[in-house]
Amino acid sequence: MPGFRRDAQGAAYLGRTTVRELLERSGLPTPVYLYDLAAIRATATEMTGALGSHPHLLAYAVKANSAGSIVRLLAGLGLGADVVSGGELELARRAGVPARKIVMSGVAKTNDEIDRAIAADILAIQVESAEEIERIAARARATGTRARIAIRVNPGIEIDSHAHIATGHDEAKFGVLRAEVPAAFERIDGEPEHLALVGLSVHVGSMMATPEPYRNAALTITELARARRQKSGSLEYIDFGGGIGIDYGNAPCEPPAAFAAAARTVLRDAGLSDLMLVMEPGRCLVAPSGVLVAKVVGTKVTARNRFLLLDAGMNDLVRPALYGARHRVEPLDWAPGATEYRVVGPVCESADDFGTHAIGDRVPEYVVIRDAGAYGFSMASEYNGRPLPGEVFVDDGAIVSVSPSPGREDWIARRLRA
């Protein structure tokens, strides 16, 4: 069975092999991320299966984890990419994602990024404002090209998630307000030699537990798509975005395939079955596949707290500090026991705190921080003079690639040069 699990004795596994064995075989020091590619493959395959014969594109949100091993794997399974920078665009292309399977989002794309996207002839640049349409038109005019664009619609929907990961409400910086979309259609159609409207997209935020809010956001743009079609305006695809949640151990989430099935039903019911369906899953594909392994540096007992001190901190995994997110922290070699510890990292910030976790009577040598495959390494920093962590990629129980930490000397040399 792919992914993280424990055997009857409580040892942690990724697929067929214990995490301890993988750690030792990799030879990498902690903190280190380990990912099970088989788990990513299984989820991607389930999602694709749920979309069946409906024309579709799963555009993996590269921001969740930009590791080449992961992007190449997904490209090989036929997935595309949702990118948000010139860097991610180039990475996706060099990892083998065909240009016409790439969509580019982002509220502040630079002219250089726009030029690269136009030159690569990607599926679409997803525009986030009327002003951006003007900038793209100017770049296309200047280069004598025709830019393929989609409108990212802000549907004015609040979802039940942390304020920092909700993006679809009308005060957010993202997307073109729904009321302004007809004018955007007109503007784009008015310059057909340089602008082609090929899609409509929406993304309301992350960590949706059920397909309901996803469906509601989808309905807003299917209406717009139907209205456009009735006026015989062209459209190649409709993109319902990402935001599919996963169970971090405290709240169940419906599986990604249920979101895919709901999306397909929305299009069928709207009479838009011929329109290509794009989804932009990030977290749900990669988060459960990854663990961050940290060494226990020691303990510290005060009148109020029993701390477990790790060699991994908020620079390696910032989600708890940034969003108040909770990741399960468990002993590597045995299942969580009753004795609780407040688990903290070495960074000089009070926010460097992974929360209180059941660890057990003995102090473990290592802990695993679970479900760390998404927005873990990709958000890591070198804060406090701490080099980026290493990464290990596992498939079917065997290590298929390793990416060591650049290490302390590299950090010192670069900072001394600065």
Binding site for ligand PLP (CB under 6 A): 61, 64, 82, 105, 203, 206, 241-244, 280-284, 374
Closer by beta carbon to ligand PLP, 66 or else 405: 66
Q: How far is the CB of 288 from ligand PLP (least distance, A)?
A: 12
Which residue type occupies 113?
E
User: Out of 8, 301, 348, 416, which one is annotated catalytic?
Assistant: 348
**Is 253 assigned a catalytic role?**
no
Angle at 379 between CA 332 and CA 199, to 5 degrees: 120
Closer by beta carbon to ligand PLP, 83 or else 118: 83
Q: How far is the CB of 162 from ligand PLP (least distance, A)?
A: 12
- Give the position of tokens 């926010």: 351
Number of DSSP helices (H) and strands (E) in the chain, helices first: 12, 21
Q: Which two tokens stand for residue 25?
A: 């075989």
Q: How far is the CB of 85 from ligand PLP (least distance, A)?
A: 12
What is the spatial distance between Cα 262 and Cα 214, in angstroms, rounded to a whole number?
Answer: 8
Q: What is the DSSP letter of 234?
A: -
Closer by beta carbon to ligand PLP, 241 or else 288: 241
Let me know how long the chain is: 418
Closer by beta carbon to ligand PLP, 13 or else 240: 240
Q: Contact at 8 Å (CB) between 4 and 264?
A: no
Q: Which two tokens stand for residue 63?
A: 């921001």
Q: How far is the CB of 307 from ligand PLP (least distance, A)?
A: 31
Give the list of residues 6+ apart from residue 408 with CB closer than 8 angstroms, or none. 385, 387
**Which of 417, 319, 305 is CA-nearest to residue 369?**
319
Closer by beta carbon to ligand PLP, 70 or else 309: 70
Q: Which two tokens stand for residue 9?
A: 């004795």
Closer by beta carbon to ligand PLP, 3 or else 242: 242
Q: How far is the CB of 186 from ligand PLP (least distance, A)?
A: 25
- Residue of this chain nearest to ligand PLP (CB atom): 282
What is the spatial distance between Cα 120 and Cα 351, in angstroms, rounded to a whole number?
Answer: 42
Q: Contact at 8 Å (CB) between 59 and 79?
A: yes
Q: What are phi and psi of 412, to 5 degrees?
A: -60, -45
HSE, side-chain direction, 13 A CA sphere, residue 124: 24
Q: How far is the CB of 101 from ligand PLP (least distance, A)?
A: 15
Active site residues: 348
